[in-house]
Amino acid sequence: MGTLIVTEAELRACLPLDKGALAAVEQAFTWIEEGCVSMPPVMHIDVDADSAVDTKGAFVEGLDHLAVKIATGFFRNPQKGLPSCSSTIALMDAKTGLFDCVFLDNGYLMDLRTGLAGAVAAKHLAPQDVDTVGVIGTGVQARYQIESLALVRSFKRVVVYGRHPGRVSDYCLDMAERLKIPVEPLESIEELVKAAQIVVTTTQATEPLVSAEWVHPGLHITAMGSDLPGKQELESEILRRADLVVCDTLAQCKIGGEIQHMARANIDRDVIELGAFTSGARQFERTQQSVTICDLTGTGAQDTAIAAEALARIKREGLGTLVG
Amino acid sequence: MGTLIVTEAELRACLPLDKGALAAVEQAFTWIEEGCVSMPPVMHIDVDADSAVDTKGAFVEGLDHLAVKIATGFFRNPQKGLPSCSSTIALMDAKTGLFDCVFLDNGYLMDLRTGLAGAVAAKHLAPQDVDTVGVIGTGVQARYQIESLALVRSFKRVVVYGRHPGRVSDYCLDMAERLKIPVEPLESIEELVKAAQIVVTTTQATEPLVSAEWVHPGLHITAMGSDLPGKQELESEILRRADLVVCDTLAQCKIGGEIQHMARANIDRDVIELGAFTSGARQFERTQQSVTICDLTGTGAQDTAIAAEALARIKREGLGTLVG
């Protein structure tokens, strides 16, 4: 018996941002599509206007474990020199419910699976030939999204927009070093959207940042910042005009994603879950004119998928400390 | 930094079933009454007909930590020689969201806070003079409920009803040893209800076990088994006839407690939350004739309360292992 306690350092050592991790997260969307996931609504605990705890979880038929992830977002932390987000994941034996493993991942696996979901979206929806990728925001996900994207598309340049010049220049230095390509700041979101074939929005915005007027043929946008009621990064008109709007799960996105705002804007259109594409049930054939949007809120199935992948590697390498 | 990992053995050593633990759980109901608790609905993951994972949590204003508890109920486990229920509790710093502590309590704190909630109910609602306590069921809560009750009432005898003779006799031997009073099996629930001044129901029943015909003046019933839709231990007519019906939280009990069945039985009556009594906002003056019912489903506030009490004691005694 006992529970294997695994630290962030151990998880980082055995599960970097790689193609195996990508495949695990991609699989999660297929599971949802195939109806083999039991995934309740997110449990949201409000602490104050800037701080909350969100718990997600999913049972996937056929997997040895199910996972529940407790994730904190305390957005005044950076003022104290602390990261905004952290998380802990518990893995239970799917046959007995016993707690086999606790990942003290401090948000690492959450960052990974969130970034990789953006890559899964781009893999199935974005143009094949991408010169420039634009990212709005300079935080942790602005990094993970673009590093993940590099697993599925060979782009030549990254452009970034952020409100804080110091953070923008840190981002450019850091990411140019990691990606070995130019990473350049732009002065406006308009410039950024117009310059890029893929745009990823990674902010906490509650008012649209991206105007429909800037959207151009051949653009794919992944909007991953909005995950709670009231958040919004894209002008709703973008969703009306797009050739294809995809989301991770309709149930969550209607509450907290970009598509929560469609009804108010009188937009009534098909929104398709990403799993339809990862499972092969659907394909989208882009033309030069296509505009595609993917609305991501993050699912418990992704957490279970990345946790299962991590556990397999932890066991293979004999990491973790057995306690209890 | 780092996270303090605390085992079941350490928790048992520093936090037995005592008056301090009782006071902590009692406080939880007052917090709910006073509106200083942010407590979302339970996150319920279905695994199969006999197995599920329920996650509860609460933020309480003024506390140093908030807690989220992941609890598993796998009811085929006893056939494998394993306990049905387990749990893990994460404690986060209420100011930063960082994971200060993980309790690998294997259900211990859940058992404790659930048993103690029954004692809180009895303290405020049950007759002062109790000769006989009746318990329906022979599992873990049949033990914790009665041991907890002994903190608030001096009873002389326990009578028990269970479906499995072997478990009934184990229960009688075990509890007579712990309580140092007679603990006797009865052949029927009818006999048991008629013989007792306090009855505690601790089963997974989905059909009423206790008939309204057996209810007599001077009886207090705590029904703690029903906590999910479809569960029921008391005939609804009992709720109609009782002088007072109390519950832990209306929001949860209307979904999963005994009172979920009131509407179907055309019963429209006041149900008062237990916090009204623990806070002193209300008092109930029993007469010889009074019949009172308390419907308990278990709240995230109780989990946060018992976890905070445990953490204080763990720190005082220097227990736990810092990891990460």
Q: Which residues of chain A lie closer than 8 angstroms to B95, CB-CB?
A: 74
Mean of pLDDT values over B40-51: 94
pLDDT of residue A59: 96
Give yes or no for residue A1 having a pLDDT over 80.
Answer: no
The proportion of chain B whose per-residue pLDDT surpasses 90, expressed as a percent, equals 97
Checking if the pLDDT of A268 tops 80, the result is yes
Interface predicted TM-score of the whole assembly (ipTM), two decimals? 0.86
Instruction: For residue B41, list chain A residues with Cβ-Cβ distance below 8 A.
Output: 43
A324 confidence band (pLDDT: 50, 70, 90): confident
Q: Indicate the residue of A97, A99, A104 with minimum beta-carbon distance to B323.
A: A104
pLDDT category, A175, cuts 50, 70, 90? very high
| Mean pLDDT computed over B187-214 | 97
Does pLDDT of A181 surpass 90? yes
The predicted model gives B214-226 an average pLDDT of: 97
- Per-residue model confidence (pLDDT) at position A201: 98
Phi, psi of A141 (to 5 degrees): -70, -25
Structure tokens at A316: 């293979």
- With the C-alpha atoms ordered B136, B142, B147, B148, is the resulting torsion angle positive or negative? negative
Across the interface, which of B57, B86, B324 has its CB nearest the CB of A55? B57
What's the pLDDT score for residue B324?
84
Position B234 scores a pLDDT of 97
Cα–Cα distance for residue pair B159/B193, rounded to 1 Å: 9
In this prediction the pTM is: 0.87
Residues of A within 8 A of B37 (CB-CB) are: none
pLDDT value at residue A57: 92
- Angle, CA B214 vertex, CA B212 and CA B217 arms, to 5°: 95
Greatest alpha-carbon span in chain B: 59
Distance CA A50, CA B181 (A): 54
A68–B70 C-beta distance less than 8 A? yes
**CA nearest to B107 within chain A:** A98
Which whole number is the average pLDDT over A156-178? 97
Average pLDDT over residues B9-17: 97
Question: Residue range A294-315: average pLDDT?
Answer: 95
State pLDDT tens for residues A29-61. 999 999 999 999 999 999 999 999 999 999 999
In whole angstroms, give the CA distance from residue B42 to residue B53.
Answer: 10
Contact B45 A51 (CB under 8 A): no
The Cα–Cα gap between A316 and B260 comes to: 48
| Band of pLDDT at residue B1, cut at 50, 70 and 90 | confident
Q: pLDDT over 70 for what percent of chain A? A: 100
* Chain-chain contact of B47 with A94 (C-beta, under 8 angstroms): yes
- What chain A residue is nearest to B321 in terms of C-alpha separation? A323
Q: Which residue of A has its CA nearest to B89?
A: A90
Structural contact between residues A299 and A56, judged by C-beta atoms closer than 8 angstroms: yes
